[in-house]
């Protein structure tokens, strides 16, 4: 077999890749050594800005197969018939730490899924928890700043974490999830995934429904205790990446069953709490899970940088039959996710193979910018409308319109009859076994006891007392005992 020839970026053969060109034997390096300069300059530019959140991630390709008829709820083509398969790419991630962080840490996990449908890419951006810490995107930068490394100490600070939570009572439900037994998944394969937000489905008759996505792991939920996680991090900081990679390479293809909760749009206005509040779940007794299909992961990326680090997901990538809801956090993310990728990867990040549609033709008037690969020919115009048979609008909305009313302004979320920040956190606590409650309390107290300000501790304790009297009493006693040691 012919030997492959090493070349420069311009395609010229490289004569010597071991020795730089110098002025005589042992002399200084020459500026004319194009291969050396190109190699060093390229090396200096190998990294792109890491994600501010969800920096540490792993990914895999697979497919989604419809197993149940949901055409009564949505006209999305990739969900149009039982047995239909759609290629997918998923990215799992931790949230708070940097690209060099460990996998087995107490942190929510990102569960971002790209469907390469015949009608364009559909991105579903969620987490492994059905709720989140806040309900309004204007608080998101502040929340993340409180969880990231402190500007002075350069490390995560309990004072910052719990001080923000002390002023965000709506976080109590998610804190109870995070500090409970499912706060550290054993692997990406052994956790559920959720769309978390409320989305809209629209059927062929134009009827609108609000939905929540639940991906239930078929491997079973497995989690780690704090001690188990610490031991695993010491052995393999990349434990979740290792597990996912090796499982798929062995042919042990992980899978999830997708269920949805479906709420008729007319129910939303009079539901007992705000159904678009990301800090709350819909009880299954109100809206039972309905099976949709299964997600299977069966292929590892060939290049982590090209296909995982450069993967870009945005919840505003909808397809006909699926659209947004008034969920304020979702509304903020419709802008923020895509804009983050324009910053990290450039305005043409959708041209990259992992992000480009696989089964739909892209035909629009976007031109130029860094790394543009679809600029058209001499016959293509870059404006619309035109008289040259360019692409034109369909006049068919992707989803049903959302009714709006009232005055513009910075309003608080509308109050429903049973809205509060603590009830569901208390319900979650009361569902736990005694052993689970003990571990939850120990996990919370371990962090809260490190806070240096008494007022911050008291504010957080008040939230747990409001959720459940026994919950608050146990946390308060555990914090006191740790601080007295």
Contact 372, 382 (CB under 8 A): no
Helices (H), 255-404: 304, 328-345
127 given a catalytic annotation: yes
SS3 category, 331:
helix
SS3 category, 195:
coil
Distance from C-alpha of 217 to C-alpha of 220, rounded to nearest angstrom: 6
Contact 483, 448 (CB under 8 A): no
Greatest alpha-carbon span in the chain: 85
CA angle 417, 421, 422 (to 5 degrees): 105
The alpha carbons of the chain give a radius of gyration, in whole angstroms, of 25
281 is written with which tokens?
A: 């779940």
35 given a catalytic annotation: no
Q: Is the peptide bond before 385 cis (omega within 30 degrees of 0)?
A: yes
Taking the alpha carbons at both ends of the chain, their separation in whole angstroms is: 71
Of 288, 286, 317, 253, the closest CA to residue 124 belongs to 317
* CB contact set of 117 (below 8 Å; sequence gap of 6+): 76, 77, 78, 86, 319, 359, 360
SS3 category, 5:
coil
Distance from C-alpha of 209 to C-alpha of 211, rounded to nearest angstrom: 6
Q: Which of 17, 19, 35, 54 is catalytic?
A: 54
Helix (H) or strand (E) segment spanning residue 164: helix 158-166
Main-chain dihedrals φ then ψ at residue 79, nearest 5 degrees? -110, 20
* CB contact set of 144 (below 8 Å; sequence gap of 6+): 52, 53, 96
Per-residue exposure over 372-390, b if at least 16 CB sit within 10 Å of its own CB, e if not: eeeeeeeebeeeeeeeeeb
- The DSSP secondary-structure symbol of 323 reads E
SS3 category, 193:
strand
Distance from C-alpha of 261 to C-alpha of 240, rounded to nearest angstrom: 29
Q: Which of 35, 121, 127, 214 is catalytic?
A: 127
Distance from C-alpha of 140 to C-alpha of 165, rounded to nearest angstrom: 12
Distance from C-alpha of 91 to C-alpha of 125, rounded to nearest angstrom: 9
State the catalytic residues: 54, 127
């Amino acid at each position: 077999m012919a030997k492959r020839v090493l070349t420069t970026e311009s395609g010229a053969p490289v004569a010597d890749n071991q020795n730089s060109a110098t002025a005589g034997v042992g002399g200084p390096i020459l500026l004319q050594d194009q291969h050396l300069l190109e190699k060093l300059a390229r090396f200096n530019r190998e990294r792109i800005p890491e994600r501010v959140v969800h920096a540490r991630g792993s990914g895999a390709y697979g497919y989604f197969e419809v197993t149940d008829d949901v055409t009564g709820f949505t006209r999305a083509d990739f969900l149009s018939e039982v047995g239909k398969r759609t290629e997918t790419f998923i990215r799992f991630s931790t949230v708070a730490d940097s690209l060099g962080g460990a996998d087995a840490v107490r942190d929510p996990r990102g569960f971002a899924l790209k469907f390469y449908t015949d009608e364009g890419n559909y991105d579903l951006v969620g987490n492994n928890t059905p709720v989140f810490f806040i309900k309004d995107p204007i608080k998101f930068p502040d929340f993340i700043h409180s969880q990231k490394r402190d500007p002075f100490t350069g490390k995560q600070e309990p004072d910052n974490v719990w001080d923000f939570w002390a002023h965000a009572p709506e976080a109590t439900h998610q804190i109870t999830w995070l500090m409970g037994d499912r706060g550290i998944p054993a692997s990406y394969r052994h956790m559920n995934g959720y769309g978390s937000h409320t989305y809209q489905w629209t059927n062929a008759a134009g009827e609108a429904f609000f939905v929540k996505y639940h991906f239930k792991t078929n491997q079973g939920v497995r989690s780690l205790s704090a001690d188990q996680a610490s031991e695993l991090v010491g052995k393999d900081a990349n434990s979740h990446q290792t597990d996912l990679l090796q499982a798929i390479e062995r042919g042990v293809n992980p899978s999830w069953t997708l269920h949805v909760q479906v709420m008729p749009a007319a129910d939303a206005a009079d539901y007992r709490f705000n159904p678009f509040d990301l800090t709350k779940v819909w009880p299954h007794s109100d809206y039972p899970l309905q099976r949709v299909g299964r997600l299977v992961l069966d292929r590892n990326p060939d290049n982590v940088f090209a296909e995982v680090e450069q993967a870009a997901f945005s919840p505003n990538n909808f397809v006909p039959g699926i659209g947004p809801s008034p969920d304020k956090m979702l509304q903020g993310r419709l802008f923020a996710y895509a804009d983050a990728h324009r910053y990290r990867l450039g305005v043409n990040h959708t041209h990259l193979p992992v992000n480009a549609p696989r089964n739909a033709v892209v035909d629009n008037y976007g031109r130029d910018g860094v790394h543009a690969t679809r600029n058209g020919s001499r016959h293509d115009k870059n404006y619309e409308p035109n008289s040259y048979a360019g692409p034109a609008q369909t006049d068919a909305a992707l989803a049903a319109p959302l009714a709006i009313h009232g005055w513009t302004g910075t309003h608080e979320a509308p109050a429903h009859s049973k809205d509060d920040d603590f009830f569901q956190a208390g319900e979650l606590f009361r569902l736990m076994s005694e052993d689970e409650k003990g571990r939850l309390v120990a996990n919370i107290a371990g962090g809260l006891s490190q806070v240096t300000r008494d007022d911050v501790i008291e504010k957080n304790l008040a939230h747990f007392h409001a959720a459940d009297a026994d919950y608050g009493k146990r946390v308060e006693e555990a914090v006191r005992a740790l601080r007295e040691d």
